[in-house]
Structures are given as C-alpha cells and as structure tokens.
Amino acid sequence: MSRVEEHTLREDEANDVMDVDDSSNGAEDDETSLPGVSKPEKDKESRSPNLLENASFLSRAVFHWPYSLLQLGLQQPLEEKDLPEIMDVDSSQYNANHFDKIWKKEQELNPEKPSLHRAIIWDYLRSIWYIQPFIGLAALAKIVQAVVLGLIFCDRESRGRVQVGKFASDIGIVYSF
C-alpha cells in the first residue's frame, strides 16, 4: 500500500470517527465549524463587549482603549467576570477553521506530498505581502544612511577645519531620512 493510499485511509477513518462524534453530541452543521468541534456554550453571565473592537483610531494609536479595564484592575483584583469578550479572530474556533481551510487548500494543490510548513508559510506571506516593500525600503535606507554619514565624515576630515554648523546640518539631513 502506498503512502497516499495509507493517508487517504487514515483520513477516511478520522472522518468516520468525527461523524460519530457529531451525531453523539448533537452539534449543528455549520459551514464555519470543524467537524467534531462544538461551539463553546455562552456564559450565564454575559461579558462586556471587546474594548478594542469599538475603539477609535486615536484610542488605538495612543493605547487608550484598555484604560477602563486597567483602572478597574488598580481598584480591585480582576476576576474573570470583569474581562471582556475576546474578538472572534482571537477565538480558537476561528483559528481552527482558518487552519483547516489552509490545510485543505494545501492538500488540493499538492495531493502527492502536502506540507504543513509550506501551507503555514504561504498563508503568512499572503497576509503580510503589502508590508514587505516597506521593510525592504527601511533596510535600504539604513544602508544608504550609513554610507552617506561615512562620506560626510570623510569630506569634513579632508577639508581640515570643521565647520560645526555645516556639519550639524549635514548630519541632521541624513538622519531626517
């Protein structure tokens, strides 16, 4: 029996087990949930909404959004009921569904030899593609800045007498970039 057949057989067995689990716990079929994973029951006491979800841009920029929770923590020890709901993207259900989606996509793209590492790395790179050019420009700017500072120092030393005002303005210009 080949590895692919063994893998398919193991998947079929796992799906059978998950189907049995679904029927035994009465979980509802939901497109966004994993087989065999039930959604957590809501607490009897409802929590306050997440502070970050409704925070304004300014509140996020100056890190003011958790202020009320921090104030409460200064006044008394925090208890679980004091903590707000977590955001959906931070929940284990959301992340398990996302992980399952990228793994199934990897299995479709490479049915002979799917790689978990490749799936995670490609998902990560796709999620941050827009920041990569800025990171490259920042690295290039640091190199250019070091070279230009070296040229300024060499130029000022070769002239002999250093003009403090000109030297300071040159360095200020370089560091402003």
Q: Which domain holds residue 91?
A: 87-127
Amino acid of residue 39 = K
**The predicted structure's pLDDT at residue 76:** 94
Residue at 44 is within a domain: no
Residue 140 lies in a domain: yes
Q: Does residue 74 lie in a domain region?
A: no
Is residue 113 one of the residues assigned to a domain? yes
100 and 120 in a common domain: yes
Assigned domain for 21 exists = no
User: Is residue 67 assigned to a domain?
Assistant: no
Is the domain of 172 the same as that of 136?
Answer: yes
> pLDDT-derived band of residue 150, with 50, 70 and 90 as boundaries?
confident
Which positions ≥6 away from 22 have C-beta within 8 Å? Answer: 29, 35, 36
Instruction: Please say whether the beta carbons of 156 and 162 come within 8 A.
Output: yes
| CB distance 116 to 103 below 8 Å | yes
- Is 166:144 a contact under the CB 8 Å cutoff? no
Whether residue 144 is found in the same domain as residue 158: yes
Tokens standing for residue 93: 């259900």
pLDDT in tens, 118-147: 999 999 888 888 888 899 999 998 998 888
Q: How many domains does the chain have?
A: 2
Residue 148 lies inside a defined structural domain of this protein = yes
Q: How many whole angstroms separate alpha carbon 21 and alpha carbon 29?
A: 12
From the list 6, 2, 14, the residue with the least C-alpha distance to 100 is: 14
| pTM (two decimals) | 0.49
Question: Do residue 153 and residue 171 come from a single domain?
Answer: yes
